[in-house]
Amino acid sequence: MGKSTGFMEYQRKVSETIPPLERIKNFKEFHRPLPLEQQKLQGARCMDCGVPFCQSGMTIMGMTTGCPLHNLVPEWNDLIYRGNLEYAYKRLKKTNNFPEFTSRVCPALCEKACTCGLHDDPVSVQENERGIIEYAYEHGYAAAKPPKTRTGKKIAIVGSGPSGLAAADQLNKRGHSVTVYEREDRPGGLLMYGIPNMKLDKSIIKRKIDIMKEEGVEFIFQTEIGKQLKGKELIKQYDSVILACGSANPRDIKVPGREAQGIYFAVDFLKAMTKHLLDAEGKGKPKISAKGKNVVIIGGGDTGNDCVGTCIRQGAKSVIQLEMMPQLPKQRAESNPWPEWPRVLKTDYGQEEAIAVFGADPRRYQTTVKEFVKDKEGKLKKVITVKLEQKVDEKTKRRSMVEVKGSEQTLEADMVLIAAGFLGSEKFVADSFGVKLNERTNVDTEPERYRTNVEKVFTAGDMHRGQSLVVWAICEGRRAAREVDEWLMGYSNIGM
């Protein structure tokens, strides 16, 4: 695979990134792709390693290593190196419905498991994936290919996030008639309204949706299943239903002063900014704005980082990001060997921008909010934080973060964004169909299966497994589609 000595001859190279102080002037994507000849050399770095952990999707120590979709990484790296990007596209699409999304927003589990990365820099797998799919669009390989025959079976999919879209794509290619219901005004779920435009330009989503429409998938927007249209009506109308509504209940921070004005969930803040860009073309002021404000973001994950980048672009006066857990080491610990997922410090684009603008990393580790302080008008004016330390329960041996007495600090804050994750699916949807939920409020199924307790009703994505990655959502959608197809037809030729 690739050039047998390529990993020794060529250094890892990725697309050029527009400098922070320049890119924060707008909400556009800020990576300049590599020229094709340089992309070929990056494909040449893929070594004939024998056991390609990059495509394994294994679980080690509770974490995934390698691609859950089992992308044929060594194959299409070799094809890039040889200049056969048309066939590279075909091999990429065999396992991944949406490389245009994963090549932009996935944390690249493949690269973290790359054998080349054991002693050197890993192969630029994600960069190569993006190079393949964009080349395919440019040269017409990714054009619509409607199925030649139809089965006569009708399937409804509730939710147009990555899992719902993946299931729709697979089942439509099989020849079933697929209708996707979405409560928002645009498709994509969190791809559209949970990920900011500079990370995933919304024209990329529209481009793919337009192709899916050409191929025969029907989309119905601004229809909330369980409220405007009852689940039992869908069961009557369709041969099968897939629930792919996501893990939509945001985790709250319930401390004194929570009712203060100026506290928002991160997903609402990011959605407001995207809608402003799309509806008002960025003119005027978004519904929720950080301009001129002291902002405190609660949550150290990807969503928290997206909030940092968005606040800076809106013109925030200051940005602080609170993280409950300790700061991770810069290098792998001995207890975290390859090919486990590396538990190391990552400074993402939003934090890079905060450092460039404010001169310091915005993150404060082992810290959480103890109280929100409001003024006489009920508006947020301060946040009282407290430091945390890790302790082990002597009886259960479980680790937990507990308050450090006397460690309170007061921060000026006009706005707080809660980016503390999600707690599960919205119960009214499940109730409308009569499906059971488990103790985590996810839809209950047998292990590794997607069929619910209700005849004809299946589930996939975050609604099934809990909050996770886009790549896992696509994987779930593909697997659910295969199970639905087997149930409808008695067999399936849909790939996993």
Assign residue 73 the CATH number of its domain.
1.10.1060.10
Flag whether 20 is in a domain. Answer: yes
Let me know whether 435 and 411 are in one domain: no
Answer whether residue 144 is part of any domain.
Answer: no
Q: Is residue 253 part of a domain?
A: no
In a shared domain, residues 235 and 267: no
| 404 and 467 fall within a common domain | no
Whether 445 and 384 map to the same domain: the answer is no
Domain count, the chain: 3
* Domain termination site, one of 380, 400, 418: 418
Single out the residue in 366, 386, 418 at which a domain terminates.
418
Residue 268 shares a structural domain with residue 405: yes
Mention every residue, 6+ apart, whose C-beta is less than 8 A from residue 277. 27, 197, 202
pLDDT digits (tens, 9 = 90+) for 115-137: 999 989 999 999 999 999 999 99
How many other C-beta atoms are found inside a 10 Å radius of the C-beta of residue 347?
13
208 and 113 in a single domain? The answer is no
Within a domain: 184:
yes
Last residue of a domain, one of 400, 418, 436: 418
Determine, yes or no, domain membership for 308: yes
> Could you read off the pLDDT tens digit of each residue along the chain, which spans 496 residues?
668 899 999 999 999 999 999 999 999 999 999 999 999 999 999 988 889 999 999 999 989 999 999 999 999 999 999 999 999 999 999 999 999 999 999 999 999 999 999 989 999 999 999 999 999 999 999 999 999 999 999 999 999 999 999 999 999 999 999 999 999 999 999 999 999 999 999 999 999 999 999 999 999 999 999 999 999 999 999 999 999 999 989 999 999 999 999 999 999 999 999 999 999 887 888 999 999 999 999 999 999 999 999 999 999 999 999 999 999 999 999 999 999 999 999 999 999 999 999 999 999 999 999 999 999 999 999 999 999 999 988 888 888 899 999 999 999 999 999 999 998 889 999 999 999 999 989 999 999 999 999 999 999 999 999 999 999 999 999 999 999 999 999 999 998 7
One domain for residues 236 and 358:
no
Q: Could you tell me the residue range of the domain that residue 48 belongs to?
A: 6-138
C-beta separation of 433 from 241 below 8 A = yes
Residues 400 and 464 in one domain: no
Tell me, yes or no, whether 388 and 289 share the same domain: yes
Backbone dihedral angles phi then psi of residue 427, each to the nearest 5 degrees: -65, -30
Instruction: Clarify whether residues 132 and 210 are in a common domain.
Output: no
Together in a domain, 412 and 428: no
Identify whether 258 is part of a domain: no
Q: Which domain CATH number covers 434? A: 3.50.50.60
In this structure, the answer to whether residues 129 and 192 fall within a common structural domain is no
Q: Is 350 among the domain residues?
A: yes
Question: Does a structural domain hold residue 1?
Answer: no
